Amino acid sequence: MQRPSHIASGYLLSLAAFAWWGLFPLYIKAVSQASPLEVLAHRIVWCLPVCVALIAMWRQWGVLRQALAQPKVLWTLFISAALVAVNWLVFIYAVESNQVLSSSLGYFLSPLVTQAMGMIFLRERPSRLQLVAMGLAALGTLNLILHQGGVPWIALTLALSFSTYGLIRKTVKIEAVGGLLVETALLTPLALAWLVWAGVHGELVFWRGGLEISLLLACAGVVTALPLIWFTAGARRIPLHAVGALQYLGPSLQFVLAVSLFGETVSPARLVTFCLVWAGVALYLLAAGPWLRKKS
């Protein structure tokens, strides 16, 4: 049984992570002079030394070696690394192409997908209200497909990749920073290769775009590592139900930014979809509330 302080820290860490992610479009907009692939590459490359520094400071090399001695852990982190790279790239593209509402919808759907995965893979038992909530989210997605004339791929990719990443990182036996270190180490060779290629072809903004944009891109490691570390550490301390409930802070902040600051408009079809998803969110939180109070 986990200590109350351990559980409380899990909630605080998760809350901080989702608030940070909700405001993250502000950073992406600030570096939007660079292409989505360049921003992704910088997030990976600069995140690696941040993780190395943290592991060294906390003296966790022994724990890391012990975890990596298990082939299953390494293979699992290879999969999670691929998932987080896809999630980052699609999110960066959404923000730079002025589709923050789509990313917001994706992260509104993500907790409901997380709930479904918890039910399927972790044998968690959702209530009837939670099942209805998932049904409303599915109905909202179907409405958008019918009225948009195509699959809302940004929203669905973000929801599926992030939910699957959360599930994998909850089950793999490695601490937050160590896991992120391995993930970025696996991705860094590809990221560096792309940066070299882009530099040779004169397609890099870094360095050539001036001191300000270069410094902002170099900060990608810190702004990327912190919320992921908080999220992974928090998810290991609290139930998947609770992680799903707290996730709504991020997309709510993204929605506010999209409408109030970035000037995106909500079409009637998209408004119906958001209303259906929001209704699902309300039912989900209503169903989770008594459970959370009982367990906290």
Question: What is residue 295's predicted lDDT score, i.e. its pLDDT?
Answer: 45
**Per-residue model confidence as pLDDT tens digits over 277-290:** 899 888 877 776 65
Mean pLDDT of 25-40: 96
- As a whole number, the mean pLDDT across the chain is 87
Q: Give the integer Cα–Cα distance in Å for 61 and 41.
A: 25
Per-residue pLDDT tens digits for 81-90: 999 999 999 9
pLDDT of residue 97: 96
Residue-wise pLDDT for 150-185, tens only, equals 788 999 999 999 889 988 887 788 877 888 899 999
Q: Which long-range contacts (CB under 8 A, 24 or more apart) does 172-176 make?
A: 172/73, 172/76, 172/77, 172/80, 173/67, 173/70, 173/73, 174/64, 174/67, 174/73, 174/77, 175/60, 175/63, 175/67, 175/233, 176/228, 176/229, 176/230, 176/232, 176/233, 176/236
Give residue limits of the domains in the chain.
4-295
